[in-house]
Amino acid sequence: MRLHPLYTTIQKPERFTYPFCYEPHPLCQLAAKEVQEYIAAHEEIKEDADHGKMFGVLVVEREGEMGYLAAYSGLLAGRNDWEFFVPPVYDAQQPDGHFKTVEREISRISRSSSDASTKELSQELQLWLFHQYQLLNARGEMKDLVDIWQDYYDRPKLRAKFPLPPGGTGDCCAPKLLQYAYQQGLKPVCMAEFWWGQSTKEELRQHGNYYPACRGKCKPILTWMMQGLDVEENPETQGLPHLEMKTVYEDDFLLVVDKPSGMLSTPGNIEQDSVETIMRQRYPDAMVAHRLDMYTSGLLIVAKSLEVYRSLQEQFVKHEVKKKYIAMLEPLSRTFPREGGCGRISLPLRPDPMNRPRQMVDMEHGKRAVTDYEFLSDIPLPREGEGEGPSLVALYPQTGRTHQLRIHCAHPEGLGRPIKGDELYGTKADRLYLHAEQIWFRHPVTGQEMHVVSPPPF
């Protein structure tokens, strides 16, 4: 059995982890530390993992004894038979197994047949593979991956959009861990996943950071596999405490407000105040003219009427509105690519369909995204050898893509340093240290050139 003992007096949580938004429990942190020590001590594993891989731990209980299971996503050093880690839900890598035998035959046929015929054979083989993933839940019930997927996307429009799982579904850490625990009669206690190694150029991850399970591939599966467990509530649906919002400028036609970090710009899926809902209590026709991420603070223009809103929108469409953001970048233990100064970052972006709301760099299919930057200060760490300290940087977006500033700071071909507190592309802190400090626009009624400033609260 791949069960590793945990010798600790740490108390277990009352409920199982909600895997798509969580803070790692101390038991998981202890288990993850042991896994990281194991990786570092085994050269073949470390060499492959250093290129970037997700690992997971599941703390389990049996007869009052605590232990943990460990897993990795996909293959590790080309293998999936490492004794320290749980096995895959289904092993498609056996050289003489059905999958590899048919795969070789398809490769042979493809050298002499049309693309259409080999594509059909490949699709049939992939469908066969999905049916081999027989997944358990905590009640002991079993379903194959195709049935799980189609039951989750049961409405006709969703079924048409997501008819079958994408390749690799079922090979992430979380399904492997839960499947093995159920098979061995182990009770899941808590779970966490962490990234080891480098970021890929497309997907930004920080070495050693914890991340939620992916939504695209894993949410349908885990929704099934966690049935029968007492799972924590989704924190994203709980809302946040009431936050105060300051008005920086107001006249008969519009307002400019300073949105606090943690407040939505417009109504969302959670029961929480937004700038727009608060403004509509005072002005029934109020509309937010643009948006800031929930955890970004700073200046937002609010129109008091539809006519003013449309005029402002026209300025945004024509790129006549200018903005300046202030960000504090994380300190790193290595020298970052850009030593002060100023410049321009141009990295095209698109959504990560398997991991929303994350975005990713895609040089071929991404939409144009351009940011100008200027370093304002560097704060050195007190001792040599500890790398650069946090830096303040001014950011001037020339386009308005989702998470543009966050990725352009974090990406190795951008500034190479995540914004402090960016839990998606960096490391979580007390807040996201990104603030919309200044905005320039033309007043939609008077024609006056407007310049509004709100200093950052950090």
- Residues designated as active site: 293
Q: CA-based angle 191:195:199, to the nearest 5?
A: 155
Give start and end residues of each alpha helix (H) in 139-292: 145-152, 156-161, 173-183, 215-225, 275-282
User: Cβ contacts of residue 64 below 8 Å, gap of 6+?
Assistant: none
Amino acid residing at 319: H
- Cα separation of 4 and 454, whole Å? 53
Q: Do 185 and 42 contact (CB within 8 A), yes or no?
A: no
Q: How are beta strands 359-361 and 349-351 bridged, if at all?
A: antiparallel
Q: For residues 222 and 121, what is the distance between their CA atoms, to the nearest angstrom?
A: 29
User: Which candidate, 426, 324, 241, places its Cα nearest to that of 418?
Assistant: 426
Written as one string, the DSSP assignment of 375-432 is EEEE---SSTTS----EEEEEEESS--TTHHHHHHHSTTTTSSPBTT-TTTS---SS-
| C-alpha of 18 from chain center | 15
Report how far apart, in Å, the C-alpha atoms of 179 and of each of 45, 92, 169, 176 are.
23, 16, 14, 5
Question: What phi and psi values does residue 327 have, to the nearest 5 degrees?
Answer: -130, 145
DSSP bridge partners of 16: 231
Q: Provide the residue type at 374 as one letter.
A: E
In sequence order, the β-bridge partners of residue 322 are: 440
DSSP string, 21-72: S-PPPHHHHHHHHHHHHHHHH-HHHHHHHTT-EEEEEEEEEETTEEEEEEEE
Query: In degrees rounded to 5, what are phi and psi of residue 85?
Result: -105, 155
Task: Give the residue from 216, 226, 135 showing the smallest Cα distance to 168.
Answer: 216
19: Cβ contacts below 8 Å, ≥ 6 apart: 174, 191, 193, 212, 213, 218, 222, 226
Query: For the CA atoms of 159, 356, 269, 232, what is the dihedral angle to 10 degrees?
Result: 100
